[in-house]
Amino acid sequence: MPLNLPNLLTWARIVLIPLVVGAFYLPLPLYEQNLIATVAFTIAAVTDWFDGWLARKLGQTSAFGAFLDPVADKLMVAAALVVLVQLGRADALVAIVIIGREIAISALREWMAHLGAARSVAVSFVGKLKTTAQMLAIPMLLYYDPLPGIPIAAIGEALIWLAALLTLWSMGYYLGKAWPEIRSRGF
């Protein structure tokens, strides 16, 4: 495992997951718990963008980093969604759709890579839209409290449902891209 700045940022994202979850177990007022979880998640989300950019900029891409980055993303989003469901801020259906899609598409990508057809399920624009909607919705739902004139919870709820719809759309897109390979192998 190459120990470089991009990989350290990815590890930092994983280390922040217990803080996002654990904030709601601290003996603090709810608004402070919300703030701690939101800040931790937002820092993790920013490192998600920054570690990939930095790896490319510094020429420090690695197979380990390419493996660990999406794992960290999925762990972070899944942990936050479970917390949001527990708090009653997100519907279980949304969490099941998003987490289920992540597992299914990760498995599909692994299988397609094994077949030598990984390019057919490379990250798409709709996948990036889905991620953007998630990364905006989750901090809003973690924070939850309204800001002056801004109904944070309502915006977060709309965005998380949009993320769920984009999740289904992107899953259909990736399955459609993989289908010719699946069909050609008689599965």
Which residue would you say has higher pLDDT here, 49 or 36? 36
This prediction has a pTM of: 0.90
Q: How confident is the model at residue 109 (pLDDT cuts 50, 70, 90)?
A: confident
Q: Look at residue 122 and tell me whether its pLDDT is greater than 70.
A: no
Three-class SS state of 164: helix
How far CA 7 is from CA of 15, 98, 141, 163, in Å, comes to: 12, 25, 28, 27
> Quick one: which of 51, 47, 30 has its CA closest to 142?
30
At residue 70, the pLDDT reads 86
Name the class of domain 5-184.
mainly alpha
Q: How confident is the model at residue 89 (pLDDT cuts 50, 70, 90)?
A: very high
H or E, element range at 165? helix 152-184
- Segment 5-17 shows an average pLDDT of 92
The mean-pLDDT minimum among 85-99, 123-137, 173-187 falls in: 173-187
* Cβ atoms of 163 and 134 closer than 8 Å: yes
* Cβ atoms of 99 and 136 closer than 8 Å: no
Q: Look at residue 2 and tell me whether its pLDDT is greater than 80.
A: no
Domains in the chain: boundaries: 5-184
Residues 6+ apart with CB under 8 A from 17: 44, 75, 76, 79
- Segment 164-181 shows an average pLDDT of 89
Which residue would you say has higher pLDDT here, 154 or 67? 154
* Cβ atoms of 68 and 78 closer than 8 Å: no
